[in-house]
A and B are shown apart, each in its own frame.
Chain A
Amino acid sequence: MTPEEKYELFEKYCRQDLSVEDKATLDQILTEDEAANQELKVYQELWSHLDSNFTTEKQQQELKDNLKQIGDSYFNTTTTPKKSKVIQMPKWAYAVAASVVLFFGVYFFNQGNPTYDDFATIPELSMGERSNSNEDAKNVEKVFNAGDYKAAENYFSSLLTEDPDNTQYQFYYGIALLEQNKYANATTVFESLYKGNSVYRYRALWFEALNELKQEKYESCAGLLKKIPEDAEDYQQAQKLLKKLD
């Protein structure tokens, strides 16, 4: 028997596709030839390995992605919190960034008043663990980070009905409103936050200042900026903006 014929028999065996004659031939080979016995075992193992691997390739990838997310959120929330995401830039990007800065520098120099777009940096929304169990939480993360603030507003409305005291929801809800120029609503949200005691207190103050800036209400903007204390995350930016407003 040629190796070709042998492997074809092995293949039929694994596919449970043996005819009566095939089976007799195979049985005979296996009783006479110990090496063929071993070989069939390996062939069968490989067959099952390939079968399982290719059949579940997609699920395996999905599981990997999901575990990565769950792991990220676990390691970010329970242990030393990472301050902010560091995005690796290729070297040429620094050159581009530098020229952009230069361009804006020149641009501002010639312009009068600072604008909202110059100063607003929208933080990334991360719902952590919740996005694994709550559909709305998962969706809002997606749409908010994609810049679809209309959709984000809707999700936050429903999330806040369930959990009205959640300050993270409130803060990002405020940003979603501000991005859509719903100034008055945004003010209500930010105001209640900066009068409260949550971690979002000063961030809300900064964004309410940006809200005023967007409406070109420079005086009230400056008033709010002055309330941002030195140890707040946005203090430097606030000072910079104050200088421009002077």
Chain B
Amino acid sequence: MGNSKPHADQKYIEALLRNDSKVLAEIYERFAPKVVGYIKKNSGDESRAQDIIQETLITIYRQATEKKLQLTCPFDAYFFLLCKRKWINELNKSSNKEVTINEGVVSIDDESARFAEETELYAAKHELFEEMFDQLGKACKELLKTTFTIKSLEEVAQKLGQSYGYVRKKKSLCIGQLTQLVQSAPRFNHLKNLL
């Protein structure tokens, strides 16, 4: 996202990457109250708020590990927006009808909104990929797990008593199959332009 310098709040992203308890506790201290207040005002309670906060932080962590997330906006609005939308989604899921909630808790600048959208898109893809992965056969799942955990295909081949070429071919076929599953998922059409 651009070449601008990271915001000082990038430290919260780094804390997630390092699993730094001290700074993570600070995230709760500084940013949780607003989220809790919002969720409680909109048919939720503290325990739901705790879940939403944790899930949102994990999503940010995933995006940061895979896509090297560099914040150029304050964490505050970005994080709040993510938690809020996640909560609205939950409400929609459980009530089966569109829930619209008054937006005006914080003013959201464009930059924060853009970052939040990026993260939401990432989360949506992640979810789709996980679901499709689940539909793969057992053999493919295991092979992919093994080949991505043990990076060296030679080692995997040795472990499975197969040739290097065979393992690479199998692996590529499994990801190929997964590619087709993803492409044929109805939800994929919404995401594909954004890849």
A residues contacting B by CB (< 8 A) are 3-4, 6-8, 10-12, 38-39, 41-43, 45-57, 59-60, 62-64, 66-68, 70-75, 79-80, 129, 132-133
Contacts and interface: CB of A to CB of B under 8 A. Distances in A.
A63 B22 contact: no
21 contacts: A3-B176, A4-B173, A7-B175, A8-B169, A10-B176, A11-B171, A39-B183, A42-B195, A45-B129, A45-B195, A49-B125, A50-B133, A59-B65, A60-B58, A66-B19, A66-B21, A66-B24, A70-B25, A71-B53, A74-B28, A79-B36
A49 B66 contact: yes
Contacts of A75: 46-47, 50
Interface in B166-189: 168-169, 171-173, 175-176, 178-179, 182-183
B21 A11 contact: no
A54 to B, nearest CB: 4
Interface in B15-39: 16, 19, 21-22, 24-25, 28-29, 32, 36
Given A54-B145, A75-B46, A132-B25, A63 B176 contact: no
B54 interface: yes
Interface of B: 16, 19, 21-22, 24-25, 28-29, 32, 36, 46-47, 50, 53-54, 57-58, 61-62, 65-66, 125-126, 129, 133, 144-145, 148-149, 168-169, 171-173, 175-176, 178-179, 182-183, 192, 195
Nearest to A65: B19
Contacts of A68: 54
Contacts of A63: 16, 19, 57-58, 61
A54 B175 CA distance: 14
B28 A64 contact: no
Contacts of B175: 7, 10-11, 43, 46-47, 50
Nearest to B129: A49
A62 B19 contact: yes
A56 B149 CA distance: 9
Contacts of B47: 75
Given A10-B176, A42-B182, A67-B58, A133 B21 contact: yes
Nearest to A42: B179
Contacts, number: 117
A48 B62 CA distance: 12
A59 B192 contact: no
B25 A74 contact: yes
Contacts of A57: 149
Given A38-B192, A43-B175, A66-B21, A52 B169 contact: no
The 9 A-B residue pairs with the shortest CB-CB distance, nearest first, are: A11-B172, A7-B176, A132-B21, A54-B148, A52-B66, A7-B172, A74-B28, A8-B172, A71-B50
B148 A55 contact: yes
B126 A49 contact: yes
A50 B144 contact: yes
Nearest to B27: A70
Most interface-central of B21, B133, B183, B192 (chain A CB within 10 A): B21
A57 to B, nearest CB: 8
Given A10-B172, A55-B148, A70-B24, 10 more contacts: A48-B66, A53-B62, A54-B149, A59-B19, A62-B19, A64-B54, A66-B24, A70-B28, A71-B53, A79-B36
A59 B172 CA distance: 26
A43 B148 CA distance: 15
